[in-house]
Amino acid sequence: MALKFAVMSIFKAKDEQSKQFNKMGKNAKKFGEKSDKAFKRASKSAKGFGAITKGILSAGAITKGLGLLTQGLGASTTAFLDFDDAITAASAKFKGLDLNTKAGQKTLKKLGKTARDVASKTKFGAAEAGAGLDFYATAGFNAAQAMKLLRPTADLAMASNLGIARTSDIASDSLAIFGLKTDNANKLQKNFKGMSDQMAFTMTSTNTTLDEMFETIKGGAGIFTNSGQSMSTFNTLVRSLADSSIKGGKAGTGLKAMMAKLAKPTGEAAEKLKEMGVQTTDGKGNFRDLFDVLGDMEKAYKKMGTQEGLATTKTIFGLETMNAFSAVMKTGVGNLRKYRKEVENSAGSTKKMSDIMGKSLKNRIASVKSALTEVAFKFFEAFGGGTGGMLDSIADKVRKFDLTPIIDTIKIVIEKVKMVFRTMEKAGVIDLLIQSFKTLVGVIKFVWKIAEPIFKLMWEILSPIIKGITTVMKGAEFLAKGAGFVFDQIGQNMDAESTIPGMPTEAELAKYHEDRAAKRQPPNAAQVQNQTIRSEANASMRLDIAGAPEGSKLTKQKGADPVDVRMLGPTPSFVS
């Protein structure tokens, strides 16, 4: 009977990084100790600068200050460039301004100074002021007129809470619609202030905005001006309609239609006005003051019932204009005259409202910003006076740079490449390369046609062999499991005190284990301490292999994980 050998395989997984971690820990400790000493020395040195210096350094005030300074310079540079661009754009549009003359350059400087003066004393930026000048130039005003209008425009913009550019657009069109434009710059400024004050007063007297007023002006003010009605009359009616929530373009359309019906009544409307005793024109054929005409109509309406009065209004004005006319008559001619007087006496309303609006915290901050920007502009003026000439010089040099030699050289190279290609093509080299590639592809296809059936045949031969080996291995595994099951059953049926030769008793087993334990050395203190930074996992497996010859050895494959393999055989004498 073959000897039975016991094979004990002990697997050990050691933490090989423990030593490295220990080393790193020691180095980190040394670094910390050195750093601590260095920081202590730096702290002692810092005390020499005093508490204020340490406070500044700890708060990063210097770095923050430099950052803010950089941001400020960047913002100022952008503002200056925007301003310069706006003034340049405006100067190109003013009629009669020739920048190629000394007078033109002098006017250009005045335009810039005017815009900057307005910006430094209001919440608006210099570039925005320049944009206002640009709008006036586009509207046909000359440079002198635009400069006279810029400051009152800024006041109206502040009062109406709009930008200078938008306000300039509104003001320039409104001056034309009301017939207030004139070549005289001083007279134009006076007309503007009068119009602006009436607008500002109207806005504060009712719930309307400058944008809404402008829409009304565009829609209806033209016919009022042409019929000889005053601007104050129109603004009074704007207020009246706004009180009835008729605003903007709708109000303008209503006022225009109302004036048109009264200017030239026809058919039933003319008969009805004559019946009411209302004359719309005077003896010279001029349109009477509108409020006088409305006063006569008001007297006639008082003699009518509500139904007759409504029918009369529809006959004279039509269905679409009834609402506007009814709103005006609801105000009452007496109140209309009173309101008009207030509008006429509204001088200074723009400045007053502008000053009030300027006291808000937001506008005050904006004003400070504008003032600081002007300081930055003076810095650029002082140190950047020659920049324009320098840039022009650079641009001129760039324009004069001759690229012809470079371009000609590139053309020659391209022609040479084309020539070589044409030569190769004529010689048939290109076709030969193409044909060679096609031939190579054909050879590959031919070889695969031969190799493919060979590979298939090899697989057909090897496939059954591989399957057979797999089946034998599975059968061996099944037999091994069956044998193990049989031996387990036999072992369970054997008594602990069996008299079968070779089987150990309990006493013999106990003594065998005691002997093995005595041979083990207990761990020393260093090993116990090292256990805290070392991890080791042991797993033991005992295999009984029947039929192994005495002296057999198991070898470990090179490069495999650490395995402690011991051949514990032949088995002790008490094992059969």
Q: Is residue 456 part of a domain?
A: yes
Length of the chain as a residue count = 576
Q: Is residue 413 part of a domain?
A: yes
* DSSP string of 118-164, one letter each residue: HHHHSSS-HHHHHHHHHHHHHTT--HHHHHHHHHHHHHHHHHHT--H
Q: Is residue 190 part of a domain?
A: no
pLDDT of residue 155: 94
Q: Is residue 433 part of a domain?
A: yes
Terminal Cα-to-Cα distance of the chain (whole angstroms): 10
CA distance 53 to 45: 12
CA distance 478 to 484: 10
Q: Who's near 374: CB < 8 A, 6+ residues apart?
A: 116, 119, 120, 126
With vertex at residue 575, the alpha carbon angle to CA 570 and CA 576, rounded to the nearest 5 degrees, is 90
Of 204, 237, 244, 201, residue with least CA distance to 337: 237
pLDDT of residue 434: 79
pLDDT of residue 559: 53
Q: Who's near 517: CB < 8 A, 6+ residues apart?
A: none
Helix (H) or strand (E) holding 539: strand 536-546
CA distance 191 to 347: 11
- Tell me: the pLDDT tens digits for 313-339? 999 999 889 999 999 999 999 999 999
- Count up the domains in the chain and report the number: 1
Q: Is residue 152 part of a domain?
A: no
Classify 537 as helix, strand or coil. strand
Q: 545 phi and psi, to 5 degrees?
A: -110, 115
Which residue shows structure tokens 């400024």?
189
pLDDT of residue 224: 95
**Torsional class of 207: left (φ above 0), alpha (ψ -120 to 50), beta (otherwise):** beta
CA distance 339 to 350: 18
CA distance 158 to 390: 39
Listed as ranges, residues in the chain with pLDDT below 50 are 1-18, 20-21, 24, 28, 31, 35, 39, 42, 46, 48-50, 52-54, 56-58, 66, 69, 495-500, 528-548, 552-557, 560-576
**CA dihedral in degrees (83, 85, 89, 91; nearest 10)?**
60
* DSSP string of 35-54, one letter each residue: HHHHHHHHHHHHGGGHHHHH
pLDDT of residue 388: 55
Q: Is residue 230 part of a domain?
A: no
- Domain of residue 416 covers 395-475
- Tell me: the pLDDT tens digits for 447-503? 777 777 777 777 777 777 777 777 766 666 666 666 666 555 555 555 444 444 555
Q: Is residue 245 part of a domain?
A: no
What predicted TM-score, i.e. pTM, was given to this entire model? Answer: 0.55
Amino acid type, 235: N
CA distance 429 to 432: 5
CA 297, distance to chain mean position in Å, is 61
Q: How far is CA 228 from CA 221, 223, 259, 309, 353, in A?
A: 11, 9, 11, 28, 30
CA distance 153 to 136: 11
Are the beta carbons of 469 and 542 closer than 8 angstroms? no
Q: Is residue 426 part of a domain?
A: yes
